[in-house]
Amino acid sequence: MLLHDKVCIITGAASLRGIGYATAELFAEHGAKIVIADLAMNEKIAADVRMSIDNGISGPTDLHGVRCDIGSLDDCRTLFEGVISRFGRVDCLVNCAGVVKSQPFLSISEKDYDFVVDVNLRGAFNLAKVAVEHFVVRKGGNIVNVASVAAQRGGGLVGGAHYAASKGGVISLTKSIAREYGPQGVRANAVCPSMTETGMLDELTEERFREIVAAIPMRRAGKPRDVAGACLFLASDLSAYVTGATIDVNGGSHIH
């Protein structure tokens, strides 16, 4: 049990096919108390997630769902206040929520830019702000941000320049927090997945999917659980001396 009794907020966990869900499932297996927060969250989704996790680990899981738009600082603050009043504290934030838009650079309108950057970068900023405020008082805490290989390789296989730039911003934000708040016991790290089999790939044709897989040294796409494993490492004390790091989960598709 790597996260026994740790209180963890995981954003972007509304889809049973997503990285956020896989992370919630793995964290539950390791004894965490979990709050899943998502723009799409409602009672039914929270109940479905809980049931699915309970079936896998012979529950019951201490898991609660909260609707939250991470692009809104007020929503993020309300999320943290709710979790703190329920559990007394937050130990770890895993920010998985994100949006993607695949389009050539010159076709990106201001509206497209705002949509992607407001969720991916402003959202990460909002959550980090309320998390760090709490962690500084507690003298400890842990942030794991899910970025993307798109930030490292200059554009995504899925996702345009605005997506890549937003995720690049997430990596820089994570490093800055690690440097600035390390002395107060706060750790912050990023995970960079490459193509991972979730709803985000629904727009890819099978042919394109096969082409991309053929170029990956491990000859397969990532599974949500692969990314969840890196999040677990970063959330747990196994990584007690790791901060400001960017962990690649890409099957060797970007070795640098």
Return residues touching ligand NAD (CB under 6 A). 11-12, 14-15, 18-20, 38-40, 68-71, 96-100, 119, 123, 146, 148, 158, 193, 195-196, 198-201
Catalytic residue among 113, 163, 181, 241: 163
Query: Cα-Cα-Cα-Cα dihedral of 120, 123, 128, 133, to 10°?
Result: 170
Q: Which two tokens stand for residue 168?
A: 């690049």
Q: What SS3 state is found at 14?
A: coil
The residue with its CB nearest to ligand NAD is 98
Q: Which two tokens stand for residue 105?
A: 């650079």
Nearest CB to ligand NAD, comparing residues 120 and 142: 120
Amino acid residing at 226 = D
Residue 163 a catalytic site member = yes
* Minimum separation from the CB atom of position 4 to ligand NAD (A): 26
CA-to-CA distance for 13 and 170, rounded, in angstroms?
19
Q: What SS3 state is found at 191?
A: strand
Nearest CB to ligand NAD, comparing residues 139 and 175: 175
Nearest CB to ligand NAD, comparing residues 40 and 238: 40
Report CA-CA distances (Å) from 28 to 35, 70, 168: 11, 23, 30
* Minimum separation from the CB atom of position 182 to ligand NAD (A): 24
* Minimum separation from the CB atom of position 178 to ligand NAD (A): 19
Residues carrying an active site annotation: 163
